[in-house]
Amino acid sequence: MHAYFDNAATTPLDPQVLDAMLPYLGQHFGNPSSLHGPGRQVRSAIEQARKSVAGLLNAAPSEITFTSGGTEADNYAIFGSVRTLGLRHAITSPLEHHAVLHPLQALAKTGETQLSYLRHDAQGNLDLAHLEELLATHPRSFVSLMHGNNELGNLNDIQAIGEICTRYDAIFHTDTVQTMGHYAHDVQQLPAQFLVGSAHKFHGPKGVGFLYRRGGVEVGPLIHGGSQERNIRSGTENVYGIVGLAKALEIACADMAAHRRHVQGLKSRFIEQLTAGLPGVQFNGRSADADASLYTVLSVSLPPSSISEMLLFSLDINKVAASGGSACTSGAQLGSHVLEALGAAPNRPTVRLSMSKLNTTAEVDYAAAQLVKLYQPVAA
């Protein structure tokens, strides 16, 4: 058996999504900016995908911009807001993904904006009273706080955050990469100016994402050189990727309730088996709280062991695919900035187990057994 539990990094492509993409990898090859028939046919597919994504978010098609993924969408929202709207103060959290932290830190380094970090507790709960204090001092700020933490699984109350931002005329961007396709997002109810999505997090293709930008929020482009995407995002569109993204989001939203029940059951099974088999096991942040965390992510803090440094490698040898945190930093010899911010014990290795609709209870049982086996006490 091979058990894949790194779905927060990427999910397998749904076969129905591949079927939708294939015609645009072959016979429908026209450039969507061309005025002839083959070009118009491809342009029509892009616009239909835009309408589909917009409809699922209760947005207008003009509010959806297709990008190369979540990182580009985050960067566009951040650089575009600060530079075009002249926002001299930004607020974020130390627990954000680097796709948010690094652009904001770059803008702070050049002096284009001042950057404040929101306080949080040892479980990663954000201090919304502190947010209100910061906005009372800097009312017209750019606020970027994610919906679901990609490492801990913590869910933030973005409805409450958005309402606070509205009271202080702040621009609110929320990184929804980990929750898009897994939770419903209605932009008519959510007071946010920007949301993002990345197709490969909900069984779509890699290399394509989108930005929702609320109508009336005019910001400049991040990429220059053409008039594509209504002069917002230059470059010939990733047509088959865009078609695949829309199809994947349609499937995810249609089956969301059933998938959530299934995956939440897998996560609960992991918690039960690891708690029983590993005395001293802990779960980071609010990861084990079904009401306060992503049902797809479980962050496991394991007791110290002689195998700690080789844990992920040992799991891989035993055909269990998992990660220590964000896949974006897996190639660097750096600890998790999220766990460091929480003050996690450095001698307790962390495994992030992230699940999808395709995982089974047999895979959970196998992966849990491998973890327990690897952490048996070493003989004296």
Dig out the tokens for 302 from the structure. Answer: 């394991």
In whole angstroms, give the CA distance from residue 213 to residue 55: 14
> Which residue is catalytic, options 129, 276, 317, 328?
328
All residues at 6 or more sequence positions from 178 whose CB lies less than 8 Å from its CB, including other chains: 8, 146, 147, 148, 149, 150, 201, 294, 296, 297
- Residue 3 has phi, psi (to 5 degrees) of -105, 115
How do strand 320-321 and strand 3-4 relate by DSSP bridges? parallel
In whole angstroms, give the CA distance from residue 304 to residue 296: 25
Burial of 81 (0-12, 13-18, 19+ CB in 10 A): buried
Beta-ladder partners of 282: 301
E-strand stretches of the chain: 3-4, 64-67, 89-92, 114-117, 142-144, 171-174, 194-198, 209-213, 282-283, 297-301, 320-321, 350-354
Q: Name the nearest CA neighbour of 144 among 77, 229, 216.
A: 77
Q: Is 328 a catalytic residue?
A: yes
All residues at 6 or more sequence positions from 155 whose CB lies less than 8 Å from its CB, including other chains: 147, 148, 149, 179, 286, 292, 293, 294
Dig out the tokens for 82 from the structure. Answer: 């600060």
Residue 321: CB atoms within 10 Å: 16
Residues with catalytic roles = 328
